[in-house]
C-alpha cells in the first residue's frame, strides 16, 4: 500500500503542478493583457468595434447663365441583406416584394441563403424606396448604400464643355475635371459600433463629422445660344460631309463665352458609346492655319502705325506675286485696288505688299498684341497656344505667309479673342466660361469680372477695322453672312490643309469670323468647317452662311439685340490704358517650335510634334495621341509621369511612343 500511495501522491502532485502552472500562465497572460498592455489591446478592440462610415457630399451643380441646370444628381440606393440576422423570411420576402420590386422568389431565395451578405437590389431611386427606408433603415439585417449618379439632361449639346464624372463621381473630362476642387465637396464621416456578428449599432453619442457639399457653378454659357450653335454646326457638318465643324459665340465687350460646340460630339451620359476623340473640345485644342482671317494683323499694324490709309492704292499685279522662288496667287486677278478693297476682296497679293511695306517686326508685334501664339488662359483642359514662329526665323517668305494666314496656326478661341478686340474698340479681354461659384448656402466664392489684358491698337484704328469688316460682309467675300436690316461685320478665311508633301489641293479649312451690330457689337461668332466636301469649300460660301443662320435665330429669340448702330463706347480702363503703348518684345519666342527650325511653306511638321503629356490622365493622353494618329505603349496607371519621345519631337504615325503612369497622390493634382 505504501508504494501504491506514493505513486498516487506523485501523480497528484504532478497534476496539481500542471494545473498550477497552467493557471499561473493564464493569470500572467491576463495580467499582461489587462494591466501591462491594456492600452494596446483597448486600442485594438476599439478598432475592431468602431466602424467609420464615410458620408458622401453632394457634388456641386453646374448651371447656364440663366440658372438652367446642366447637371443633375440622382440619389440611388443599393440594398443588401445579412440573411442570418433576419427572421420570418417568407413574410419578409412578401413585404420586400411590395416595398421594393415585385420579385418574391428572388428575395425568398436570398433570405434563405447560407451566405453572410447578398446584394438584392441596386440603383433604386429614392422615391421608390422611401417606405422601405422608413421601416428598415436602422435594421441591422439590411445594408443600405446611398449613391449619387451624375446625369446630364442635355446630353451631347453640352457634353464637350461640361464633360463627365467617373464611377466615384470625380470629374475626368471637361469642366467637371477642371473645376473638380470646387465641385467635389469634402466627405464627412460617422462612427458606429460593430458587434461580433458584424451588426452596426448607430449611437447619437458617438463622434461624427458632417460632409461639406460641393459648390454650385454658374457658367457664362447661354443654353439657347448653345442649342442654336450646335444645331447649325450639325447641319453644316452633314450638308458638307465635313471632317469636323466647330464654333464659338462670345460677348466681345466682356469676354463671356455664350456658346461653344464641336461636331461630332458625344453623349456624357453614355460616354463609351463614342470614340474618345469625340470628347475633345476642339475650339480650344485644335490648331489650324487661319487663312485670310489673319489679315487683320497686317491691316491693324498698317493703320495703327500710319503706314497705309484705306484709300491708298495697291498694285495687285494681276493676281500674283513672286517671293523668292515661290509664286503666291489671288483667287481672282486684281490690278489696282485700294487697301480697303484689298481687305474686302481678300487679296493675298495686296496684303503681302502692305506687310512688306510695314516690315516683319510690326507684323510680328501686332500678332503678339492680338494674343496669338500664347494661351488665352481660359482654364479649360487641353488648351493649345498655337504657332507663331520666333521673329528671328522670319524671312521674306515667312512674312508673306504670315500676312495671309499661312505658316502660322491658331485656335478658334484665339480668333474670337482677337476679333473681340476689334469689336470692343481695341481691348484684348480674357475669355470667361465661369460666371460665378457659390456654396450651397449662397455664399459667393468667385464672381467673374471683365479682365482687360492690354490695348491692342487705338480706338480710331479699330473703328477703321470695323468699317472694313463691315464692307467685307456688305459687298465683299463675306456677302453670304449678310442679313437684311442687320449690320454684320466679318472676315472670311480659306486655308489649304497641310500634309507631309505640302499644301493639299483638295482639302481645306473654311473659316468665318463675324460680329454685330458693326459699330456697337454685342455678339461675336467664329465658325470653322474642317474639310468640307463638294463644290464649295471657301469660308465665304461654307462658313459665312452658318454664322448668318446662327445670328438670325439668336435675334429672333429677343428684340434686345436688334437696335440701331450706335457709336461704340470704349471702356475707360486704367490698366488697359497703361498697357496701350506697351510693345510686345520682338525677342519673345513663345512658340511650339525650337529656335533652329526653319520656316517652310507648310506647318505640317510643327503640328505633328509630340505634345507634353505629363500630368495628364491615361484617358486624356490616349485621346491627344489618337488625334495625331499615334498608338502608345502604356506602362502603369494613374497620371503620366514620363513620356517618349520628349515633347516637341517631330513624330509620324509610325513613331514608337511610350508613356509611363503612376497613381495620383491626391485628387487635386
Least trusted range by pLDDT, from 92-106, 129-143, 644-658: 644-658
425: left (phi over 0), alpha (psi -120 to 50) or beta: left
What's the pLDDT at 196? 56
pTM of the predicted protein model: 0.77
pLDDT level of residue 402 (50, 70, 90 thresholds) = very high
Tell me the pLDDT tens digit for each residue of 159-196.
999 999 988 888 989 999 999 999 988 888 877 766 65
pLDDT level of residue 545 (50, 70, 90 thresholds) = very high
Mean pLDDT over each residue of the chain, to the nearest integer: 84
Any idea which fold 611-662 has?
Trypsin Inhibitor V; Chain A (3.30.10)
What's the pLDDT at 370? 95
Least trusted range by pLDDT, from 383-387, 522-526, 544-548: 383-387
By residue count, the chain amounts to 669
The CA distance from 88 to 195, in Å, is: 22
- pLDDT for residue 539 is more than 80: yes
Least trusted range by pLDDT, from 57-61, 210-214, 400-404, 651-655: 651-655
What is the CATH number assigned to the segment(s) 56-219? 3.90.1310.10
DSSP-assigned states of every residue in 74-141 = EEEEEEEE-GGG---HHHHHHHHHHHS-S-HHHHHHHHT-S-S-EEEEEEEEGGGSHHHHHHHTT-TT
Better-predicted residue by pLDDT, 255 or 625: 255
What's the pLDDT at 95? 86
331-335 contact pairs (CB < 8 A, 24+): none
pLDDT level of residue 668 (50, 70, 90 thresholds) = very low
Better-predicted residue by pLDDT, 448 or 44: 448
In the chain, residues under CATH classification 3.90.1310.10 are 56-219
- pLDDT for residue 471 is more than 60: yes
Mean pLDDT confidence for 295-320: 92
- pLDDT for residue 63 is more than 60: yes
Q: Yes or no: say if 61 and 69 are a contact pair by the CB < 8 Å rule.
A: yes
Least trusted range by pLDDT, from 145-149, 288-292, 534-538, 591-595: 591-595
- pLDDT for residue 581 is more than 50: no
What's the pLDDT at 632? 83
Which strand (E) or helix (H) includes residue 55?
Answer: strand 50-55
For the ranges 21-35, 39-53, 114-128, 211-225, the one whose mean pLDDT is highest? 211-225
What's the pLDDT at 605? 44
- pLDDT for residue 597 is more than 50: no
In the chain, residues under CATH classification 3.40.710.10 are 223-578
Least trusted range by pLDDT, from 68-77, 417-426, 458-467, 491-500: 491-500
In the chain, residues under CATH classification 3.30.10.20 are 611-662
Q: Which 8-state DSSP code applies to residue 442?
A: -
What's the pLDDT at 194? 65
**Peptide bond between residue 387 and the one before it cis (omega within 30 degrees of 0):** no
What's the pLDDT at 290? 93
The CA distance from 121 to 144, in Å, is: 10
- The C-alpha cell 485628387 sits at 667
The CA distance from 247 to 357, in Å, is: 34
Residues 6+ apart with CB under 8 A from 283: 246, 247, 248, 260, 261, 262, 411, 412, 413
Q: Yes or no: say if 103 and 97 are a contact pair by the CB < 8 Å rule.
A: yes
DSSP-assigned states of every residue in 506-561 = EEEEEEEEEEESTTS--EEEEEEEES--SS--SIIIIIHHHHHHHHHHHHHH-GGG
Least trusted range by pLDDT, from 49-63, 91-105, 212-226, 514-528: 49-63
Mean pLDDT confidence for 511-519: 93
Least trusted range by pLDDT, from 287-291, 322-326, 468-472: 322-326
What is the CATH number assigned to the segment(s) 223-578? 3.40.710.10
Mean pLDDT confidence for 92-107: 87
- pLDDT for residue 565 is more than 50: no
pLDDT level of residue 665 (50, 70, 90 thresholds) = low
Report strand pairing: 326-329 vs 320-323.
antiparallel
**Peptide bond between residue 250 and the one before it cis (omega within 30 degrees of 0):** no
Centroid of chain to Cα 295: 29
- pLDDT for residue 131 is more than 60: yes
- pLDDT for residue 336 is more than 60: yes
Least trusted range by pLDDT, from 77-81, 188-192, 321-325, 639-643: 188-192
- pLDDT for residue 296 is more than 90: yes
CA angle 586-590-595, nearest 5°?
80
Amino acid at each position: 500500500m505504501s508504494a501504491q500511495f506514493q505513486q498516487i501522491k506523485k501523480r497528484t502532485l504532478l497534476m496539481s503542478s500542471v494545473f498550477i502552472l497552467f493557471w499561473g500562465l493564464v493569470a500572467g497572460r491576463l495580467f499582461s493583457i489587462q494591466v501591462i498592455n491594456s492600452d494596446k489591446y483597448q486600442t485594438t478592440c476599439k478598432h475592431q468595434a468602431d466602424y467609420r462610415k464615410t458620408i458622401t457630399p453632394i457634388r456641386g451643380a453646374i448651371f447656364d447663365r440663366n440658372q438652367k441646370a446642366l447637371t443633375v444628381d440622382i440619389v440611388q440606393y443599393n440594398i443588401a441583406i445579412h440573411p442570418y440576422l433576419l427572421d420570418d423570411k417568407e413574410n419578409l420576402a412578401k413585404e420586400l416584394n411590395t416595398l421594393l420590386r415585385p420579385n418574391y422568389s428572388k428575395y425568398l431565395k436570398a433570405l434563405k441563403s447560407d451566405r453572410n451578405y447578398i446584394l438584392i437590389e441596386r440603383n433604386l431611386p429614392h422615391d421608390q424606396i422611401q417606405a422601405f427606408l422608413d421601416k428598415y433603415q436602422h435594421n441591422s439585417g439590411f445594408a443600405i448604400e446611398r449613391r449619387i449618379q451624375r446625369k446630364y439632361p442635355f446630353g451631347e449639346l453640352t457634353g464637350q464643355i461640361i464633360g463627365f464624372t467617373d464611377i466615384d463621381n470625380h470629374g475626368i473630362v471637361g469642366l467637371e475635371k477642371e473645376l473638380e476642387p470646387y465641385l467635389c465637396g469634402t466627405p464627412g464621416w460617422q462612427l458606429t459600433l460593430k458587434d461580433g456578428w458584424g451588426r452596426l449599432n448607430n449611437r447619437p453619442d458617438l463622434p461624427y463629422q458632417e460632409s461639406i457639399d460641393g459648390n454650385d457653378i454658374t457658367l457664362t454659357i447661354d443654353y439657347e445660344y448653345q442649342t442654336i450653335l450646335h444645331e447649325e454646326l450639325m447641319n453644316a457638318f452633314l450638308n458638307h460631309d465635313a471632317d469636323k465643324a466647330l464654333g464659338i459665340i462670345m460677348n466681345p465687350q466682356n469676354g463671356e463665352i455664350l456658346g461653344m460646340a464641336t461636331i461630332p460630339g458625344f453623349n456624357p451620359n453614355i460616354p463609351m458609346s463614342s470614340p474618345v476623340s469625340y470628347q475633345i473640345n476642339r475650339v480650344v485644342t485644335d490648331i489650324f492655319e487661319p487663312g485670310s482671317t489673319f489679315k487683320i494683323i497686317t491691316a491693324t499694324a498698317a493703320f495703327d502705325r500710319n503706314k497705309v490709309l484705306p484709300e491708298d492704292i495697291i498694285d495687285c499685279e494681276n493676281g500674283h506675286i513672286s517671293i523668292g522662288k515661290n509664286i503666291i496667287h489671288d483667287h481672282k486677278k486684281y490690278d489696282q485696288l485700294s487697301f480697303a478693297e484689298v481687305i474686302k476682296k481678300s487679296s493675298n497679293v495686296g496684303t503681302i505688299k502692305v506687310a512688306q511695306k510695314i516690315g516683319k517686326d510690326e507684323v510680328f508685334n501686332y500678332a503678339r498684341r492680338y494674343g496669338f501664339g500664347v494661351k488665352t488662359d481660359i482654364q479649360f483642359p487641353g488648351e493649345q497656344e498655337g504657332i507663331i514662329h520666333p521673329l528671328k526665323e522670319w524671312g521674306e517668305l515667312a512674312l508673306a505667309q504670315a500676312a495671309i494666314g499661312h505658316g502660322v496656326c491658331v485656335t478658334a478661341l484665339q480668333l474670337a479673342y482677337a476679333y473681340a478686340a476689334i469689336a470692343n474698340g481695341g481691348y484684348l479681354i480674357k475669355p470667361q466660361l465661369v460666371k460665378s461659384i457659390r456654396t450651397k448656402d449662397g455664399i459667393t466664392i468667385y464672381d467673374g469680372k471683365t479682365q482687360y489684358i492690354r490695348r491692342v491698337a487705338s480706338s480710331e484704328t479699330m473703328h477703321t477695322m470695323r468699317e472694313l469688316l463691315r464692307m467685307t460682309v456688305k459687298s465683299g467675300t463675306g456677302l453670304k453672312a449678310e442679313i437684311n436690316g442687320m449690320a454684320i461685320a466679318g472676315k472670311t478665311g480659306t486655308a489649304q490643309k497641310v500634309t507631309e508633301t505640302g499644301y493639299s489641293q483638295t482639302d481645306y479649312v473654311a473659316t468665318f469670323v463675324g460680329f454685330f451690330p458693326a459699330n456697337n457689337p454685342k455678339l461675336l461668332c467664329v465658325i470653322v468647317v474642317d474639310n468640307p466636301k463638294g463644290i464649295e469649300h471657301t469660308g465665304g460660301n461654307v462658313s459665312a452662311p452658318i454664322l448668318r443662320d446662327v445670328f438670325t435665330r439668336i435675334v429672333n429669340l429677343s428684340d434686345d439685340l436688334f437696335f440701331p448702330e450706335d457709336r461704340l463706347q470704349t471702356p475707360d480702363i486704367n490698366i488697359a490704358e497703361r498697357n496701350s503703348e506697351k510693345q510686345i518684345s520682338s525677342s519673345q519666342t513663345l512658340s511650339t517650335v525650337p529656335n533652329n527650325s526653319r520656316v517652310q511653306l507648310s506647318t505640317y511638321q510643327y503640328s505633328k510634334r509630340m505634345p507634353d503629356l505629363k500630368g495628364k490622365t491615361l484617358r486624356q493622353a490616349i485621346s491627344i495621341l489618337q488625334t495625331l494618329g499615334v498608338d502608345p505603349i502604356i506602362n502603369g496607371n494613374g497620371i503620366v509621369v514620363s513620356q517618349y519621345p520628349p515633347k516637341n519631337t517631330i513624330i509620324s504615325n509610325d513613331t514608337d511612343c511610350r508613356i509611363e503612369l503612376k497613381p495620383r497622390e491626391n485628387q487635386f493634382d
